[in-house]
A and B are shown apart, each in its own frame.
Chain A
Amino acid sequence: MTTMSKLVALAIAAGVITTLPFAASAQTAAAAKRADPALVETYLKATFGKAPPEWQARIEPDETLRACNLHRNDVPSAEADKIIKRELAKVVFPADGKLIGDWKEGKKIANNGRGGQFSDDEKTVSGGNCYACHQMEKAELSYGTLGPSLTAYGKERKFDPAEVRNAFTKIYNSQAVLACSNMPRFGANKFLSEQQIMDLVAFLFDPESPVNK
């Protein structure tokens, strides 16, 4: 009951905010284009406003996501440069310079798609969910295609230390390499730990890893 009346109140409030722009933009099909960002926030509040504050903070876009949202990921090159610079500054490399961990752990992390969902509990260990989007070791046939295949990743790059560093950077913060990449910013968003990222780098670069077999 209270929910409904609150929603009605919100809907009415939303209506007040938009009556003007819509009246002004006439009824042409082309005119009913982009929604007013303030109005979108009103809708979000109606739907997620009861979530715990830390959950609401998660869907508050940072400067980078604001730009990606505005351009639907297709940012102009000047904006892209700014994003890459900003995101690169967020990458923290291991203090001792060692970037490669344990590929066996990395394999588990790549296969684990848990963590970060409202159905998870506090004890859930976050996984990288890499197989949701990437082919990795050839024996694993249950892989998604939202990202490129990473089979033989290290081998194809001749296990070059510079490529190792690039991969660490990519996993830590995908947007430090490609602005508005669809890949999560695992380290920057504090979703995976430094050790987990090193283990994933090992999964890609250890010559013994099944990815390189």
Chain B
Amino acid sequence: MKRASIGAITVAILLCSLAFPVNAQDASEKEIERYRAMISDPFSNPGFLAVDRGEALWKLKRGAKNVSLEGCDLGLGVGKLDGAFAKMPRFFADANRVMDLEQRLLWCMQNIQDLDTKDVVARRFSGPGRLSDMEDLVAYIANKSSGMKIDVPLAHPKEQEMAAVGEALFYRRGGVMDFSCATCHADEGKRIRLQGLPDLSKPGKQPQETMATWPTYRVSQGALRTMQHRLWDCFRQQRWPVPEYGSDSITALTVFLQKQAMGGTIAVPSIKR
């Protein structure tokens, strides 16, 4: 813990002070790559602080039933964490619906712990001086799939439905700028201003590298972020309304993106701009 925090601070400072001139875009990309490689070790990526906090939360007894989340089944059996994230979102028979990790955790909080999740949902995204249980739990659980391959089950009709709806949503234009996900993520090598955009429209390397690196510690935000936050932010840029946290369109898009990313090797929490 101690060593991790010291490393974390050093790295955060290093990355923040990386002032890169715009005309050296390629050079700075390479620099970032170098730092990324350097800091993917657990002792210097601040995302691992979230992993530690998440472990404590996973084992914390709370809710009206005063039990921990260890009684939660993430798809591979009660309390089994290794590799569970690699196979999510997936269909859960007990809830009769497809859930991503965050929806599943909310379900377990409500049904296993009998916890009022209002506060947890209010803190879904962390801010200055305000930690997020969800970000920490996702960091901890996702990390237990690091090194494994993305392998979402697409056998159940509801899982197939999610993938198909997710694909439709990816191409659905709207909002004052007529944008869809595809406006920004359906061509290779494009960028918005100077930000490179992954092509998520075709299965393969780009979606694999993208999806296998979430959750991620975002240096620009000083926080660990989950896919729920990433898509919330993309909908903002898309000029769409605020998406409801843990709602089905987000999960459908995630299923579709995971389908595109099948076989990608998970390395999380990663660290990004």
Contacts and interface: CB of A to CB of B under 8 A. Distances in A.
Contacts of B244: 3, 46-50
Contact residues of B: prevailing secondary structure: mixed
Interface string A115-136: 1111100000000010111000
A18 interface: yes
A58 B241 contact: yes
Interface extent on B, as a size class? 35 or more
A39 B165 contact: yes
A15 B158 CA distance: 7
Contacts of B240: 48, 58-59, 118
A11 interface: yes
Given A59-B240, A65-B174, A132 B192 contact: yes
Contact of A58 (B155, B163, B175, B249): B175
B3 interface: no
B183 A48 contact: no
B248 A184 contact: no
Contact-size category for A:
35 or more
Contact of A47 (B95, B163, B248): B248
B230 interface: no
B118 interface: yes
Contacts of A14: 161, 248
Given A22-B161, A23-B157, A46 B190 contact: no
B249 to A, nearest CB: 4
Nearest to B189: A145
B97 to A, nearest CB: 4
B81 interface: no
A59 B241 contact: yes
A152 to B, nearest CB: 20
A182 interface: yes
Given A14-B161, A133-B192, A146-B183, A184 B176 contact: yes
Interface stretch (A30-38, A76-84, A95-103, A156-164): A30-38
Given A47-B250, A141-B22, A65 B178 contact: yes
Contacts of B172: 40, 61, 69
A1 B121 CA distance: 10
Interface string A35-66: 10101100110111111100110111100010
B145 to A, nearest CB: 25
A4 B248 contact: no
A86 B107 CA distance: 48
B142 to A, nearest CB: 22
B193 A131 contact: yes
Interface in B156-184: 157-158, 160-161, 163-165, 167-169, 171-180, 182-184
Given A4-B110, A58-B176, A72-B171, A11 B97 contact: yes
A189 interface: yes
B163 A32 contact: yes
A49 B247 CA distance: 11
Contacts of B155: 27
Contacts of B167: 34-35
B118 A1 contact: yes
Interface in A188-204: 189-191
Given A4-B110, A18-B157, A35-B165, A144 B171 contact: no
Contacts of B247: 7, 46-47
A3 B236 CA distance: 21
B241 A61 contact: no
B194 interface: yes
Given A40-B165, A142-B193, 15 more contacts: A3-B121, A8-B97, A11-B248, A40-B172, A47-B244, A58-B174, A58-B176, A65-B174, A69-B171, A69-B172, A117-B236, A118-B241, A144-B194, A145-B191, A191-B176
15 contacts: A3-B246, A12-B97, A14-B161, A15-B97, A15-B161, A35-B161, A50-B244, A58-B176, A61-B174, A116-B175, A117-B236, A117-B239, A118-B236, A145-B191, A184-B176
